[in-house]
Amino acid sequence: MTSSSGSAASPDLVTALTNKATHLRIESVKATSEAGSGHPSSCCSAADILAVLFFSVMRYDPKNPKAPNSDRFVLSKGHAAPLLYAAWAEAGLFPKSELLNLRTLGSDLEGHPTPRLPFVDMATGSLGQGLPAGVGLAFNAKSIDKTDYRTYVLMGDGESVEGSVWEAAEVARHAGLDNLCAIVDVNRLGQSDPTILQHDMDAYRARWAGFGWNAIVVDGHDIGALLAAFDEAARTKGRPTVLLAKTFKGRGISFIENHPEWHGKPLKKGEETQKAVDELARQLKSVSVEPQIKAPSALKAAAPTKGSMAPAPYKVGDSAATREAFGAALLALGEANSQVVALDADVKNSTYSDKFGKRFPDRFLENFIAEQNMLGAAAGVAACGKIPFVATFAAFFTRAYDFIRMAAISQSNIKLVGTHVGVSIGEDGPSQMGLEDLAMMSAQPGVTVLYPSDAMSMYKLVESAASHKGMVYLRAGRPKTPVIYGTEETFPIGGSKVLRRSEADRLTIVAAGVTLFEALKAHDQLKAAGIPTRVVDLYSIVPADQATLIECARATGGRFLTVEDHYAHGGLGDAVLSALAAEGVRVRKLAVRDIPRSGKPEELVDYFGIGVRSIVEAAKEIATTATR
């Protein structure tokens, strides 16, 4: 818990870096003025920090942002994107003229950074997410690859109120991530008001030091002090470091500096912009040296291994919960593929990811009860080329949904596994029942949503999820269910299984998970009553097997019944409706339509209208209507 002021850095280096910061300010002002929108004042407050990082501290290849073992930089305060773009242009990655395309449709220099750019690991802009991602990046270097790259995360002071920041602070301290350095740009002003602490630097230091971090208060506009602080951070072992940089919004432009009304407001093109640029240009000084960007060290990580998973340890007639099968599959996958990583939030003995954690502790990040950090860290790990599996109760993904949304924007290769779904979990009650998870995951672009019904299909779909490039959600149940599929079965993403069929079928019943077994029992009762039905296991919700559903619709006169242990909106039933929208099909949905309560699983399934009794009643009504 120290302060840094002054440094032994050479005067020429300090002057050269000061010039770099001025150039970054000038380019940020020009770009936002040309765009007519953006945050030039927020860029100006952090320009000295980025100049020191990019042109003296970080080790990277300015022509190859993805060079192995490069230091990582995350701009958590994503609204300062023009500053990040200016830094890479100043480093020579692309011409500065491209900065004037900021925020235009044809440019990847968007209002907030996304991984469309090669130097961005994950999308930022929803505040409070950069540090959790940094935890994942740093964990990958320290524990998985055991390499020496460092991770730097630049945050705003306003976002430090976000709870996810403190989740990350706690996990980073516990994991001993001394290769992680956060920088808080304490410029005092938020969007609509001054920040809570404004420039109370002692209060900032007390908070971070209380979380076990090496907390350094520094003048964020003093180049020498910044150099000294980053040097101390690199030498600090056993815990992460945070630089608490006292800065001023709009630094270097006298008529906007430290004025609250300039948040998110570009300077007007023409005279106002020119006035600011001229003032900044007068701050440039002649210097005989140019800062040297440091090259990354040689990569020493072990070559990844990838092989085939061991066969599933199940046979037809066994009984196992799909959450148990997930744990077994994850362990087998970890044995076969060294790129697989698992993250937990203190429920590993319920999701069965503890088996993986015990076998591969270096590839397992325990987040304790910090679901937001778990998702953010997973995105960071995925940005390093790993395949992270994130498992928790499906209901608890709701508190991390913004992280899921940002991971989808990033097209992150993370795999989510939600257990304890639906009323079938039983006595724990509605707070623990994942009943909106299919809708949540299906709403995000590019997310594959899978709902295996037995242990064999879960085991094989875990392997499919790992092989699939992109985010995948696997829904896992708590109760034990019969194993109905043999080892010869395959489960391609986008497929389904027609388990019961005849030429005389008058109705198609579509289900997945526990309700599939209710549908199979209902099939037998309906057959005895003279109502032949077709039963489909729609294990792939997104994408759904449209071809098979259309075939079933045509075979059964366009009569469909869906049944799911999920709320009525956005789940399996709506996936079927969407797939059959152009076919004129009548779909009746059985789903959980009320807030549930505690009870035995079988009681709840029946009580909330998704059991065999309700399926038979609905099927008979549909069949009776069809014969009139």
Enclosing H/E stretch for 540: strand 540-542
Let me know if 148 is exposed, middle or buried by CB neighbors in 10 A (0-12, 13-18, 19+).
Answer: middle
Distance CA 414, CA 390 (A): 7
Q: Is 371 a catalytic residue?
A: yes
Distance CA 52, CA 382 (A): 28
| Beta strands in 226-286, from DSSP E residues, in sequence order | 241-246
Enclosing H/E stretch for 223: helix 223-235
Residue (of 539, 455, 537) closest to 493 by Cα position: 539
> What is the full DSSP assignment across 164-189?
HHHHHHHHHHHTT-TTEEEEEEE-SB
Helix axes 11-35, 223-235, angle to 10 degrees: 100
Distance CA 469, CA 446 (A): 10
Q: What is the dihedral of CA 538, 543, 548, 552, to 10 degrees?
A: 60
If DSSP codes are grouped into helix, strand and coil, which group holds residue 391? strand
Residue tagged active-site, from 371, 463, 518, 564: 371
If DSSP codes are grouped into helix, strand and coil, which group holds residue 304? coil
What residues contact residue 302 under an 8 Å CB cut-off, 6+ apart? 145, 338
Q: How far is CA 592 from CA 389, 501, 515, 538, in A?
A: 28, 27, 12, 18
Q: How far is CA 122 from the centre of its chain?
A: 8
Give the active site residues.
Answer: 371
